[in-house]
Structures are given as C-alpha cells and as structure tokens.
Chain A
Amino acid sequence: MAEALRARRRGTPVALESAMATKIMIVDDEPDTLKTFVDLFESEGYDVTAVDTGEKALESINGYQPDVILLDIMLPGRNGIEVARELGARGTDRKIPIVMITALSAFPVGDMSLAEETGIKRFIFKPCQSRTLLQVVDDAVRYG
C-alpha cells in the first residue's frame, strides 16, 4: 500500500499503479460518508470504486472484481446483509472478503453462520477511527 501511495505521488502511470493497488468497493448511501471513505482509502493508495446502492454494487462487481468490499447495512432497497447473501449465493464471488459497516448500534445479524455463507469477514461500527477502519480492511484483505 505504501508503495502505491508513493507511486501515486511520483506520478507513476495509472495502469501500473492500479495493477499493484488493492481494489476496494465501497457501498454507502450517505454521500458525505461515501466521499469520506473514498478520500481515506485513496489517500492510503487503494483503487476505489464507490456506489451508493446494493443493486449498483451487485451490477458492477463482476466488472470491477474488487479485492475487498466495504458494505454498509442500512441501504435503500436491498440492505447490506441481503447484498452479502446474494454475493455469497453467486459462488464465484465467495472469495471476496466483505467488511460490514454500520452506524446502527448492533448488527442485525442473527447468527454468525451468516459469515460463512456470505463472505462477511469483519464487522465495524461507524463512526470509528480512520486508523481502525484501515486496519480492519487491511486485515480482511490479508487474512480473509
């Protein structure tokens, strides 16, 4: 990641940079929150795609093939849990680790068996320290 950051500052060609940068898809319906996370992860050297609904995420995921997904729970239309379920059901996307994030005070997840069938690897509450968020996402990418 640090190399990617330096590469960006040096002005390394985009193609080369994106080849080494970790690809993250951020799904959040709150524009300011989305922008905050996009700026945070871009400043950390990630290759970021941001969408504001679960449907758009499901649509664009095959084209983008992210290494990790940061998925909000309270989304208009299909909520984050449903999106994660759908991704899990697709089979091919099973390997993409998902980090669920929410401003709710408890995750509305009945049982943790959900994590196995959906690829949800980490849970984190908003608002959290940027350091914590980066650490959690990085862990999810590294260790699944």
Chain B
Amino acid sequence: MPSGTVSERSHPVFEFVRALREPLTYQPWRNLYGAFGLLWGLPIPIFSVSIHCWATGHPFSLDFLARYPVHLLFAMHPLLFAVVFGAMGSVRARKDRHIGTLLASLQEKLEELREANEKLKELDRLRSEFVANVTHELKTPLVAIRGYAEMLQEGRLGPLTEKQATGLRTVLRNVDRQQQQIDDLLQIARLESGRLRADKHPFPLRPLLEGCVEMFRPQAEAKQIALGLDAPDVRVNADRDMIGHVVTNLIANAIKFVEPGGRVDVAVRNGDGVLVRVSDDGCGIPEEARPFIFDRFRQADGSMRRRHGGVGLGLAIVKGMLDQHGSSIEVTSEVGRGTTVEFDLPKGGDA
C-alpha cells in the first residue's frame, strides 16, 4: 500500500464531511434544497402509481388516490423530501450566512482595531517628538545663560566684585535647578511612555549608596543634618543608574524636609531580597496627603512648594523606576516624628 492515509482522506465520504465542516462562505443555492427535494421525490410516487395502474388495469386519475390511501402516502413522499431537504438546506444556508456575517463583522472590527492601533502609535510618536522638542527648546536658552554666567564667574570676561560673584552664584544655582526640573519632566515622560526601561545587571550596592550619601554630605553639613549609612556588602540585580537616581531622590527629599539638627539614615537589610531604607526624623507626611505622594506634581500643600522648591516629580519618578524593577515601595510616616521609605531589590548573583 503506497500511502494509506492519503487514499483514506481522499475518499468521497471524507470529502463530504470536510465540505460540511467548511461553513465559511454563504452558499445561496442551499436555499433551493427544498426544490431539489421536490425534483427528487416527485417522480417516485408517479412512477409507482402508474405501475400499479398498469398492473391492475385501473384508469390513472386522482380518484385513485382517494380510494387507496396507501398511495396518498406515496403522493406525500416528495413533499416529505421537499420539507426535509428544504429544512436542511435553509438551516445550513442560514448558519452559513450567520457565520459569514460574523466573519465579516470580525474582519471589520479587526480593521478598526488595526486603524486604532496605528493611530495610537502615531499619537505616541507625536507625543515623544513633542516632549523631545519641548525639552530641546527649554534647554537651549540655558546654554547661553549658563555659559555666560560661568564665564563671568571664572573671570574670563573681566574681574568681578564680591557682590557680582554672589549674584552669579545665585544665577548658576537656579540654572542648575531649572535644568534638573527639565530633566525630571523628561524622565517622567519617558518612564510613562515606556521608553525608559531598566537595564538590569548584578552590581554591589554599597559603593553606589556611598556615592549617593557622599554627594549629599556637603549639603547635609551645611544644614547641620547627620547623614548615616549602614549597608552590608550585597549584590543586587538592578539598573545601577536608576537605583542611583532613586536613592538620590529619596535622600534629597529627606534632607529637604528635615529641620537642622535632625538626621537622615540609609540602611540596607539582607533577607530574601535586599531591603533598602531611607529614613528621616523630619516633619512627616500628613495623613490626608499620603495617598497622593506618588502622584505627579503633588506636594503636601502649596506652602511647602514655596518653602522647599521642586515641582513634585521626584517620587513619581522613583515609583516609575522601581516599577521597572518589579519592586514595591512602602512609605511609613508619622507627623512630627519622621518618614521611612523602604523598597526591595532582587539579589544579584556573583559577578
């Protein structure tokens, strides 16, 4: 036997079954099945009655049917055929038509979805282009401002009086602030559009934290705030830059809200994961503000913004970045006692 399966599959019965299983197109001629039934069924009783008449010598007439009810059954035969065939045909046709309409509407919906998707992609592209353009335009004037302020400060354009130097320091400090805010805006936009993704590698956490803490040392000392770090040698699997940004943001926040003489602590606990904690003994977060601390552009109240600066993007960025690591952030706070922020990071393997 050359190929059994092929010969089996090409058998007319299977062809028929397969044809039954392909109800994908509307076949209007199936509505005519009833008529086919008549065509098939009609000749049989006529033929049988005429044979009977011929054999018995009866004349061929309709009275005959009345006299012999059995022949009435024969006469009904084509009707039966017509009804059964017709029903099968029209059910089949209706089913096909129904499926056909479903398929067509499905096709339509798919098309709509595709269009909507294209439109969204276009919108997303426009949005990121817009963000890029806006930040470009916001940054461009800063080049000249910063450039000339620095040249003046460095005495490249002539000697300065002490007052002028102080003024320039203020200008430069505010340029820094402006630039930081533009960068924050950009970062939140990129996090939200999913363009900024965590690039995770195992790295030792302690040196990073030391760097972050040391960066704030002068600022903390100027404000007479004690800055502590307690971290064992652990490796975490995370995006180094992002975690640096997160910790920097948290320390900056803590220092911002701690009164002179207070303290800010960064601590690491090694468990299933690695728990990083930044705690302060500052003013705390009022109960009613807690649900909103991770929202963009929110600070506890307007007066705080005036006192401490910032547009309130810091924690939104922190949350966005930690989301990228699949790690959760937890804030516990007591008004007047201080705030503790904790987040966990996955442990990193050996280098």
CB pair A130–B186 under 8 Å, yes or no, is no
Report B98-112 CB contacts with A as 1/0, cut-off 8 Å.
000000000000000
* Min C-beta distance of A125 to chain B, whole Å: 8
With A43-B156, A103-B139: A130-B147 Cβ-Cβ less than 8 Å: yes
Residue of B nearest to A130 (CB): B150
CB pair A126–B143 under 8 Å, yes or no, is yes
Tell me which residues across on chain B come within 8 A of A39, comparing CB atoms. 147-148, 151, 156-157
With A32-B144, A36-B148, A40-B151: A127-B175 Cβ-Cβ less than 8 Å: yes
Residue of A nearest to B146 (CB): A127
Tell me which residues across on chain B come within 8 A of A131, comparing CB atoms. 150
Tell me which residues across on chain B come within 8 A of A2, comparing CB atoms. none
CB pair A104–B132 under 8 Å, yes or no, is yes
**Does A129 count as interface, using CB distance less than 8 angstroms?**
yes
Given A103-B135, A103-B140, A127-B143, 20 other A-B residues pairs in contact with their CB atoms under 8 A: A33-B140, A33-B147, A35-B144, A36-B147, A36-B148, A39-B151, A39-B157, A40-B147, A40-B156, A44-B156, A103-B143, A105-B135, A105-B186, A126-B139, A126-B140, A126-B142, A127-B142, A127-B147, A127-B175, A127-B179
How distant is the Cα of A39 from the Cα of B152 in the complex, in angstroms?
Answer: 11
CB pair B175–A130 under 8 Å, yes or no, is no
**Does A37 count as interface, using CB distance less than 8 angstroms?**
yes
**Does B136 count as interface, using CB distance less than 8 angstroms?**
yes
CB pair B143–A129 under 8 Å, yes or no, is no
Interface SS, B side: helix
A interface residues with partner B (beta carbon < 8 Å): 30, 32-33, 35-37, 39-40, 43-44, 74, 103-105, 126-127, 129-131
How distant is the Cα of A37 from the Cα of B143 in the complex, in angstroms?
Answer: 9
Tell me which residues across on chain A come within 8 A of B183, comparing CB atoms. 105
Tell me which residues across on chain B come within 8 A of A105, comparing CB atoms. 132, 135, 183, 186, 190
**Does B122 count as interface, using CB distance less than 8 angstroms?**
no
* Min C-beta distance of A34 to chain B, whole Å: 9
**Does B154 count as interface, using CB distance less than 8 angstroms?**
yes
How distant is the Cα of A103 from the Cα of B190 in the complex, in angstroms?
Answer: 16
CB pair B144–A33 under 8 Å, yes or no, is yes
CB pair A30–B140 under 8 Å, yes or no, is yes
Tell me which residues across on chain B come within 8 A of A40, comparing CB atoms. 147, 151, 156
CB pair A37–B140 under 8 Å, yes or no, is no
CB pair B143–A33 under 8 Å, yes or no, is yes
Tell me which residues across on chain A come within 8 A of B142, comparing CB atoms. 126-127
How distant is the Cα of A29 from the Cα of B179 in the complex, in angstroms?
Answer: 21
With A43-B151, A127-B175, A130-B151: A36-B136 Cβ-Cβ less than 8 Å: no
